[in-house]
Amino acid sequence: MKRTIYNLCSVVFLVGALFAVSCDDWTENEKIGVKDPAFGENDPELYARYLASLRAYKAGEHCRTIVWFDNSLKQPASRGGFFSDVPDSVDVVALMDAGRLTASEAEQVAALREKGTRVIGAVDCSALYAVWEAARENAAQQEEGDGGEQTPADGFAPWLGEQLAARMADIEADALDGLTVCYEPRSTVFMTEEERQLQAGREAVVVEALKRWTEHHPDKLLLFEGNPQNLTDKSVLEDCDWLVVRCLTAATVYDFGTLARRMCDTGVPTDRFVWLVSAVKPASTDFGYVTDASGASVRAVGALAEWMLLPGEVDKNGIGIMNVQYDYFNSSMIYRYTKEAIDMLNPSPKN
């Protein structure tokens, strides 16, 4: 009897063990490859027609869209860090990070060009001045600590010239499609003579660099961001494809027109203005917004697009979006607000 019970228990234990193993096999997670097909992947001929239509659209008359992209993250963890993923209808992508492109970035440039999108390099003289000033103050502190004399007040002009030359050389080496330079000179009306001389020296460096660029690259884009009305030598503006009305600090929609009117000075061509606002940084509640006519706080990108449709005193050639990468992440549509602005101004074949 005991032997029979022992054999029965052995059988039950064996069946239970086999059942447990089988359950493990049934419940084990397996990786299933999910592929998100790219547009036109299954129909190359259709995609080729789409690209041809897209390039024809960009070559024709329409309201331009220029975006500034911060490409300082060279190994992005998500598609949001790839500038090649901007909406297809974008006309120009300005890369904000200095230095040569990586192999991946060069591939992205090629992908954008296939869509008729031009890629240019950006230079911000104000940002360069902040870097130089921080270095100068640090050097002055060290010299004071050593008992030496402080560094002379301005060595920025020659250093700026070196930085502009280096940036242009990198853009040339990467065979990009142009250059945009931000330089914001102040009005000289209330300046001292010393301040006028200081600004004149810096302006001469910037103007010389721009003229050198147009002389060597007459077929490439040149954009000027800043206060062209305050330039002493405005002749270089005739060689610029677009003059950028920087509205990054605009508080209301009325500032779009006010800032443009300030630029309308003798020697400033007013037939090539584009307006620049910023995309909204994730989790931001103030930056990238303006107050509309009703007093409500709205996204600057959408407000600018609506304002562009109104009749104005100067030609409205296009919009610019600073830090467009902020607009990538959206649960309903990537680059949602950029696409809405483009569609509002001139619907494209595919955003």
**Within a domain: 306:** yes
Q: What is the pLDDT of residue 29?
A: 55
Given a cut of 60, is residue 8 above it in pLDDT?
Answer: no
Q: What is the pLDDT of residue 121?
A: 98
**Phi then psi for 118, rounded to 5 degrees?**
-95, 145
Which of 103-117, 140-154, 337-351 has the least mean pLDDT?
140-154
Which of 5-9, 243-247, 347-351 has the least mean pLDDT?
5-9
Q: How confident is the model at residue 4 (pLDDT cuts 50, 70, 90)?
A: very low
Q: What is the pLDDT of residue 22?
A: 46
Domain tally, the chain = 1
Give pLDDT tens digits for 69-116: 999 999 999 999 999 999 999 999 999 999 999 999 999 999 999 999
CA atoms within 13 A on the CB side of 181: 30
**Within a domain: 161:** yes
**Within a domain: 351:** no
**Phi then psi for 61, rounded to 5 degrees?**
-75, 125
> Distance between terminal CA atoms of the chain?
81
Q: Are 83 and 95 in contact (CB under 8 A)?
A: yes
122 to 68, 96, 98, 188, 199: CA distances (angstroms): 8, 5, 8, 26, 21
**Phi then psi for 274, rounded to 5 degrees?**
-130, 150
Burial class (CB in 10 A: 0-12, 13-18, 19+), 348: buried
Q: What is the pLDDT of residue 23?
A: 47
Gap between the Cα atoms of 175 and 180, Å rounded = 15
Given a cut of 70, is residue 119 above it in pLDDT?
Answer: yes
Residue tagged 């390039």 (tokens) = 55
Range among 6-15, 30-39, 296-305 rated most confident:
296-305
Q: Are 277 and 307 in contact (CB under 8 A)?
A: no
**Within a domain: 38:** no
Which pair of structure tokens corresponds to residue 1? 């009897």
Neighbours of 330 (CB within 10 A): 13
172 to 168, 197, 237: CA distances (angstroms): 6, 32, 21
Estimate the share of the chain in helix, then strand, then coil, as percent rounded to the nearest 5: 45, 15, 40
Residues in contact with 196: Cβ distance below 8 Å, sequence separation at least 6, in sequence order: 188
Which of 127-131, 177-181, 208-212, 311-315 has the least mean pLDDT?
311-315
- pLDDT (mean) for 165-169: 98
Q: How confident is the model at residue 216 (pLDDT cuts 50, 70, 90)?
A: very high
**Phi then psi for 23, rounded to 5 degrees?**
-65, -40
Q: What is the DSSP letter of 95?
A: E
Given a cut of 80, is residue 57 above it in pLDDT?
Answer: yes
**Within a domain: 144:** yes
**Within a domain: 90:** yes
- pLDDT (mean) for 110-134: 97
Degrees to nearest 5, angle at CA 162 with 248 and 95:
40
Q: What is the DSSP letter of 296?
A: -
Kindly give the pairing relationship between strand 64-69 and strand 178-183. unpaired
Gap between the Cα atoms of 340 and 292, Å rounded = 17
- pLDDT (mean) for 273-283: 96
Question: Which is more confidently placed, 42 or 65?
Answer: 65
Gap between the Cα atoms of 347 and 351, Å rounded = 8
Q: Which domain holds residue 296?
A: 64-345
- pLDDT (mean) for 18-31: 50
Which pair of structure tokens corresponds to residue 274? 């584009």
From the centroid of its chain, how far is CA 105? 14
**Within a domain: 83:** yes
Gap between the Cα atoms of 206 and 24, Å rounded = 70
**What is the CATH classification number for the domain harbouring 120?**
3.20.20.80
**Among residues 203, 300, 283, which one has the least CA distance to residue 249?**
300
**Within a domain: 350:** no
